[in-house]
Amino acid sequence: MRSWPWNPILIDLDEGNWEKLDISAKGIIEAGVKLHKKYETFKGEPLENNLLVIGLGPFARSPFYGTNRMTAVFRSPMTYGLHVSAAGGVGFDFVRSGTSLIALKGKGKPSVIVIEGDTEGVHDVKIVNVDPSEVFNYSMLWGTYAISRYLYDTYGPGRGIAVGPFALRSPTASLVSLGLAHGHPTPWSVDLFGRGGPGSVMAQAHGVLAIYGIGNYEPPEISPELPERLANELLNKPYVRAVLEATTKYRYDPKLGTGGTFGVNYVHYRDLIPMLAFNTMYYPEDVRITLSNMALKYFWKPFQEETIARRQWGTCGEPCPAACKKVWRGTKIDYEPANALGTLLGIFDLEFARELIEVVDRAGMDAIEVGHEISWVFELLRRGLLKPEEINVNDIPNLDPTKFNPLEDSEKNYEIAKSILEQLIKGGSEIIDAIANKGIRLAAKEFDKRYEKRVKSAGLKFEDLAIYVAFGEKGYITPNLYWAPGMVAPLYVLGRYWTNYTPTFADPKSFAESSFRRAIKELLIDNSGICRFHRRWAEKLLPKMYEEVYESPVDEEYARSIYKEIAIYNKKAGAEPVPWETKKTYDLVATMAENMGSEWAEKFRRGEGIAWWKEFKQRVDELIGL
């Protein structure tokens, strides 16, 4: 019979040693919250006092599909509160390391950690000092691709997680995991723990550039008949059929003639897709439809012709019928990275977006955050709060829908975006350095003071042209790329799908209830290490899966208790949600209220929209039990 976590370990970078960890939990998030409470990481600064907890779920390497995600729990240097990020497929091979839960404590010199498993569990843990400049420039490769190849060449086949060079200078960096075939990255299995800055935590709080799992450990088997039996009992259908139906969007939807998040979202959401620095929320429907048609012709159609028609599909690294990973010209194309580095920036040429995605992945950046940063700078240039020469660019981007040429302006905007991206990674101007080093919120406050006359003349603060959710005095996170009030509503963990993320609007209390209900369901899935693309079957089977395998069921009350602990922690950490402080964030909600014909639209127009925020927050706290 399985027990979880199996062979958990604590790696102390201060002392340069490791030990077995004594902890009881049903999933990764619960374990992470307990450890962060134990070590009081809510004190001080996130990049000075932290604990990176990463783990595989209780059903890793099992006959259930989509159960091999690796999840990270950490205090975010962006939000300043506890955050959760995950990457698909990592666990399928990393499980051989012999452990399902790792906690990093303290900080040492730049190093890589190699965990080797044997038939009994963890056989050895090596902490090896490395030179960042060497491992990030190895074998004619750069960044995350270089260090991943270095690990393979040095320690043999395995699976790991790594940071890129950006993690050494920014609080917003991601963790990246590459599946390697004979040492070569496969484009399908390039997965990121993107949001909240986990790469920054691993690199700056712990001094670790990579964790690599090798060995031959296999966890106790789960009966291969169990998925079929549970599916027939609870869903009245065979298991594979249940999985295929639940993952239709991500594999291929015959009704839409496309598949994957990129393929489906552009034809499903159409004019509701955020484009041109999110300014589409201000445009009338006919203008939005024109832009949507433009995106379908120039941005989406090449994907259809080369990826969908030729079935360039694969998985994240585990056997899975969803085959959600769609590759275009050698690059994995998902909706949010492609939109963040494409139409959000006024780039309607998929090749230009693809090139930016490749740079972002190798640098170890969060594509969503980068898209917000660059589109914010675009807006600052257009509104005159910044001058091109101050950030080493030669022109002002065109985001005017009435004068937009999808061919000429895509190239123009790409060149400007490319220059800003290079400066974010390597430096080059004081302004872009401030954004890279501090993130949008603190950089904006600094610019308000530095350019006080411009702010007064424009009647706008620098932050007014950015979209982010504020936490406490310093924390923030930018929303996922949906015109959805739930993405900026006052919840304790945002920047992922722990909310109602549909493009809709409702009164604050009912919206809070639907958002919190979704958050609890997403937490259960993340806690168990299951891919959210499988949520439609997994949410129904999960309680019984726990009962059958671990004789300890989970339910929504269990998830609510974990969420409550996160909220309490975040309050202690000074990371409680605070009211919207940027005009554009406020407008994201106001425009959707207007679009839905809500009676709240008039209140938002009168500047009374914060009342919606307060009522939402009050109801969430009631639901949590605070």
255: Cβ contacts below 8 Å, ≥ 6 apart: none
Give the model confidence (pLDDT) of 130-186 as tens digits. Answer: 999 999 999 999 999 999 999 999 999 999 999 999 999 999 999 999 999 888 888
**DSSP per-residue letters across 566-614:** HHHHHHHTT--B----SHHHHHHHHHHHHHTT-THHHHHHTT-THHHHH
> Which of the four pLDDT bands, split at 50, 70 and 90, describes residue 275?
very high
Architecture of domain 9-223: 4-Layer Sandwich (3.60)
Share of the chain above pLDDT 90, in %: 98
Residue with tokens 């899975």: 320
Token readout for 76 is 């975010």
What pLDDT, on a 0 to 100 scale, did the predictor assign at position 566?
99
**Percentage of the chain exceeding pLDDT 70:** 100
Residue-wise pLDDT tens digits, 72-88:
999 999 999 999 999 99
Tell me the helix, strand and coil percentages in the chain, rounded to 5: 45, 15, 40
Question: Mean pLDDT over residues 34-52, rounded?
Answer: 98
Average pLDDT over residues 539-554: 97
Secondary element (H or E) of residue 563: helix 556-572
Q: How far apart are CA 116 and CA 104, in angstroms?
A: 16
Half-sphere exposure of 355 (CA within 13 A, CB side): 14
**Domain spans, the chain:** 9-223, 248-471
* Mean per-residue pLDDT, 617-623: 99
The rounded distance, in Å, linking the Cα atoms of 476 and 452 is 23
Per residue in 319-348, pLDDT (tens digit) is 999 999 999 999 999 999 999 999 999 999
Q: Which CATH number fits domain 248-471: 2.60.40.10, 1.10.569.10, 3.40.50.1360, 3.40.50.1100?
A: 1.10.569.10
Model pLDDT, residue 210 = 99
Q: Which of 245, 395, 213, 401 is nearest to 321 (CA)?
A: 245
Q: Span 592-607, mean pLDDT?
A: 97
DSSP of 352-371, one letter per residue? HHHHHHHHHHHHT--HHHHH
Q: Is 277 left (phi over 0), alpha (psi -120 to 50) or beta?
A: left
pLDDT at 271: 98
What is the mean predicted confidence (pLDDT) over 3-25? 97
Sheet with 313-314, strands from edge to edge, namely: 313-314, 325-328, 331-332
Mean pLDDT calculated for residue range 599-616: 98
Helices (H), 16-122: 28-38, 90-94
Phi and psi for 187 in degrees, rounded to 5?
A: -65, -25
Is residue 493 within 8 A of residue 84, CB to CB? The reply is yes
Report the distance separating Cα 624 and Cα 626, nearest Å. 6
Q: Give the mean pLDDT of 374-384.
A: 98
What are the residue ranges of helices labelled H in 60-136? 90-94, 132-135
Return the pLDDT at 156: 97
DSSP bridge pairs for 71:
55, 86
| DSSP per-residue letters across 373-427 | HHHHHHHHHHTTSS-GGGGT-SS-----TTS--TTHHHHHHHHHHHHHHHHHHH-
Burial 326-365 (b: 16+ CB within 10 A, else e): bbbbebbbbbbbbbbbbbbbbbbbbebbbbbbbbbbbbbb
pTM tops 0.75: yes
- What CA–CA distances, in Å, run from 339 to 344, 352, 424, 500, 610? 6, 12, 19, 20, 29
Residue 185's pLDDT is 87
Which residues make beta-bridge pairs with 62?
A: none
> Cα-Cα-Cα-Cα dihedral of 270, 441, 464, 84, to 10°?
30
Mean pLDDT for all residues in the chain: 98
For residues 165 and 132, give the distance between their C-alpha atoms in angstroms, rounded to a whole number.
8
- Above 90 in pLDDT, residue 1? no
Report the C-alpha gap between 157 and 179 in whole angstroms: 10
Q: How far apart are CA 162 and CA 175, in angstroms?
A: 6
Strand partners, 111: 129, 208
Contact in structure between 477 and 466 (CB atoms under 8 Å): no
Q: Whole-angstrom Cα distance, residue 173 to residue 179?
A: 20
Token pair recorded at residue 589: 């909600």
